[in-house]
């Protein structure tokens, strides 16, 4: 099974952040529409099942 925390788009929330929770991270994705690039961040839990996520790309290394 693939987990969010293994994805290249997963960025753990620092411990000193207002919204810190253990294993919580930001799923940050670069997107593009006809008007140009934009980036979106959505909170996710690292242990979420990502096996059906179309944007999942396994992080290589740590």
Q: Are 60 and 10 in contact (CB under 8 A)?
A: no
Nearer to other proteins, 34 or 54 (CB): 34
Q: Does position 57 bind other proteins by CB under 8 A?
A: no
SS3 (DSSP) at 4: helix
Strand segments (E) across the chain: 10-12, 24-33, 36-45
Determine the straight-line distance between the first and last CA of the chain, rounded to whole angstroms: 18
According to the binding rule CB under 8 A, does residue 17 interact with other proteins? yes
Positions 27 through 56 that interact with other proteins (CB under 8 A) = 28, 30, 33-43
Instruction: Tell me if 59 contacts other proteins by CB under 8 A.
Output: no
Provide the binding-site residues for other proteins, judged by CB under 8 A.
11, 13-14, 17-19, 26, 28, 30, 33-43
């Amino acid at each position: 099974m693939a987990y969010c925390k293994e994805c290249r788009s997963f960025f753990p929330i620092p411990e000193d952040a207002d919204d810190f929770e253990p294993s919580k991270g930001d799923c940050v994705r670069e997107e593009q529409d006809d008007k140009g690039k934009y980036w979106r961040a959505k909170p996710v839990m690292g242990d979420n099942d990502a096996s059906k996520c179309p944007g999942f790309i396994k992080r290589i290394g740590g």
